Amino acid sequence: MLRFDIISIFPEFFRETVDYGIVRRARAAGLVEITAHDLRRWTSDKHHVVDDRPFGGGDGMVLKPEPLFAGVEALTGKARREDFAQDTRVVLLSPQGRVFSQAVAQELAENSTQIVLLCGRYEGVDERVSDALVTDELSIGDYVLSGGETAAMVMIDAVVRLLPGALGSDTSAVFESFSEGLLDYPHYTRPPEFRGMKVPDVLLSGNHAEIERWRKDAARRKTQRNRPDLLK
């Protein structure tokens, strides 16, 4: 059982987004538990302030360290990276992170029992959070989102579907995009001809060796066209 604890100022964002498709089924099957917590719960002032102005000046507000440290301590029993159990990860979603990938998703799915996701907001998060609390600072790509919530949901989805039993069959995740360093091969279904566009003959041939060869080749061509960087 893997447990996700999300710390966010918009916990309601996750209420419905974790309730669809494979993530919903994995929760129902007891493979994963996902709980969204309100960061304001770990403030101690009357107005539940979670942000403040940046030292050194500049635009925007910065998430204060105290509520994030208190939240992680409440959820893990520890408040320093060195003290976490091996299988506990504290992830900060931020555009300054290491880039999240299928390999990172695989590693998290295999080696964690608790993942605490810290969703950044405003202009940033006090750097002492990254320095002392976070085990993995992750970005989902080279663009800036208005907050870590959507990124957290991307990560949850990518990790949950890799948990044993989450997909219909155990092999479904083995031959998909990225798992072999290439994009997935093209898929077709009926009808065999649609608006003048034909399904490649080989796929209708029943010759499985030929089909296998065509798929490998088509995957390579697609990768060459859309993601030449993957071919090195």
Q: Which residue is nearest to ligand ADE (CB)?
A: 151
Nearest approach in angstroms of CB 181 to ligand ADE is: 23
> What is the contact surface with ligand ADE in residues (CB under 6 A)?
93-95, 120, 139-141, 143-145, 148, 151
Rank residues 10 and 31 by Cβ distance to ligand ADE and give the closer one. 10
Tokens of 118: 């810290």
In the bound state with ligand ADE, the residue whose beta carbon lies nearer, of 156 and 219, is 156
Least Å distance, CB 137 to ligand ADE, is 9
Cα angle 66-8-75, degrees, rounded to a multiple of 5: 65
Q: How far is the CB of 115 from ligand ADE (least distance, A)?
A: 14
Element (H, E) at 36: strand 32-38
Name the residue among 103, 37, 39, 95 with its Cα closest to residue 65.
39
- Give 129 or 219: the residue with its C-beta nearer to ligand ADE: 129
Encoded tokens for 212:
């296998």
Please report how close the Cβ of residue 173 comes to ligand ADE at its closest, in angstroms: 23
Cα 149–Cα 6–Cα 103 angle in degrees, nearest 5: 75
Cβ nearer to ligand ADE, comparing 38 with 137? 137
What minimum distance in Å lies between the beta carbon of 63 and ligand ADE?
Answer: 12
Output the six-digit token pair for 160.
Answer: 């949950």
Q: Which residue, 115 or 151, has its beta carbon nearer to ligand ADE?
A: 151
Smallest gap from Cβ 50 to ligand ADE, in A, equals 16
Q: Is 223 helix (H, G, I), strand (E, B) or coil?
A: helix
Contact between residue 15 and residue 155 where contact means Cβ atoms under 8 Å apart: no
CA distances for 113 relative to 26, 159, 189, 225, angstroms:
15, 12, 39, 38
